[in-house]
Amino acid sequence: MLPGVDFGEFVRGRAAAGTLVVQPRMGFDHPRKMRAGLSATRSAAAVTVGTVTLDSYTRLRDDAALADALARGRPLNGYPIVAHDPAVTAAMLAGLHGPDFPVQVRHGSAVPQDIFEALAALGLNATEGGPVSYCLPYGRTPLEESVRNWTRCVRRFAELREEGAEPHLETFGGCLMGQLCPPGLLVAVSVLEALFFQQHGVRSVSLSYAQQTHAGQDREAVAALRRLCGELLPAGSWHVVVYAYMGLYPVTAHGAHRLLGAAAELAVRSGAERLIVKTVAESRQIPPIEENVAALEFAAAVASRTARDGRSDTEDSETYQEAAALVHAVLGLGPDLGRALVRAFARGYLDVPYCVHPDNRGRTRSRLDGEGRLRWADTGALPLARNGSDRVARGVTSAELHADLHYVRRTFDRVDGERAPLTGGPAPVRAREGLPGGSSKADRTEGL
């Protein structure tokens, strides 16, 4: 049994001292390499927490494929924690995981029972996910089944407190689809999943928000998230984590650095306590250890010279109004939050644009406006009050969707003389500018 470490307390304590905690999205299949990655993360010139990201077979609970891959020595895209004897993983973490270096396990599963049992056997008490955010974007597991699975797992995870370890869960809800999801919906799902965790016994939570297409809108979104946390969650039980952009990443080094720098600035200026980084190699391959360390140190350096802005967490922004309306509409569907979430998707009160999961109505659409802000093109049955031209549903062509999906990559990859300011950006390139048509389904990244 590994020593109990309070992940949430560690992050909140460093934030109170004025330091942003940075974290990689790191996972390797061999225990020796995974240990080397954690050791390098711990030694980086930054305040860090460690990550053990699991492989796709484990996430999908494809035990046969995992066993075959291990038997044949085929490489995996993460750490197979369920396949390894607990003693192997304990040895991999020994001397690294501790009060000054907490480690979080990241997965992406709608069927996480075996994962949580492995965590409990080891006493690892920090992980992430959620019944919605690890169901809709990544597979076809029925939402009702995912909610049942996560209910059992969260309750089991909460029992770690009886063994002397404060369990911590991070909601992935602020990262739905990775891109082109208006911030009000991201904030709402993040808050709802955090409430779900606390309803089932996990007191310490973190709430995610993924960097989107416009820095000003992102700061507004994190302020809205923090305000709702203050209204709905117990004080001292939560913190906010920002993810560097999860859509199509820049392919140039200068573009990747600019985008990661903007994410670090967003985290600090908005008062977030933790940042999950991406690397220069992100668009081409699973990043090696040295790329992860370079990204951590770069983000920490940018954060150290960035000051928090004067935006108030009580500001009554459009994003706050949308998120609050969605959260309270779902809470009004019944006291059991899991059942309320299922009902909300059935009625279209929650509806993720461009998500093809069978339990998602798929009536909403989003688009970028002339400033690069994410807007609703069609709100479907979302319980939102719309004004003016927003009341009229606006179709999105495949060419426009293709352009919007590539907007961030295109903007940040531009050469020096053409670069857009971090606080906004040029108008999105549309079909009229000659871009070829694209897929009608949004690209997405794995939930790492």
Amino acid (1-letter code) at residue 8: G
Token digits of residue 371:
């400033």
CA distances 350 to 197, 224, 227, 253, 366, Å, are 19, 18, 20, 37, 14
CA distances 60 to 55, 134, 197, Å, are 9, 11, 22
Q: Please enumerate, as own/partner, the contacts of 277-281 that have beta carbons within 8 Å and a separation of 24 or more.
A: 277/22, 277/23, 277/24, 277/25, 277/244, 278/25, 278/244, 278/245, 278/246, 278/249, 280/253, 280/256
> Which one, of 279, 286, 289, 248, lies nearest residue 407 by Cα?
248
> Which one, of 124, 62, 66, 67, lies nearest residue 97 by Cα?
124
- pLDDT tens-digit profile, the chain (448 residues): 677 789 999 999 999 999 999 999 999 999 999 999 999 999 999 999 999 999 999 999 999 999 999 999 999 999 999 999 999 999 999 999 999 999 999 998 999 999 999 999 999 999 999 999 999 987 899 999 999 999 999 999 999 999 889 999 999 999 998 789 999 999 999 999 999 999 999 999 999 999 999 999 999 999 999 999 999 999 999 999 999 999 999 999 999 999 999 999 999 999 999 999 999 887 777 889 999 999 999 999 999 999 988 666 667 899 999 999 999 999 999 999 999 999 999 999 999 999 999 999 999 999 999 999 999 999 999 999 865 445 456 788 999 999 999 999 999 998 654 544 443 333 333 332 222 222 222 333 333 3
Query: Which domains, from first to last, does the chain contain?
Result: 7-304 (3.20.20.240)
* pLDDT at residue 389, rounded to an integer: 42
Q: What's the helix, strand, coil split of the chain in %, to 5?
A: 45, 10, 45
**Cα(276)–Cα(50) distance, rounded to whole angstroms?**
11
Identify whether the C-beta of residue 246 lies closer than 8 Å to the C-beta of residue 268. no
Note if the pTM is more than 0.85: yes
Identify whether the C-beta of residue 220 lies closer than 8 Å to the C-beta of residue 237. no
* pLDDT at residue 178, rounded to an integer: 79
Identify whether the C-beta of residue 360 lies closer than 8 Å to the C-beta of residue 136. yes
**Cα(275)–Cα(340) distance, rounded to whole angstroms?**
30
Identify whether the C-beta of residue 123 lies closer than 8 Å to the C-beta of residue 2. yes
Identify whether the C-beta of residue 233 lies closer than 8 Å to the C-beta of residue 205. yes
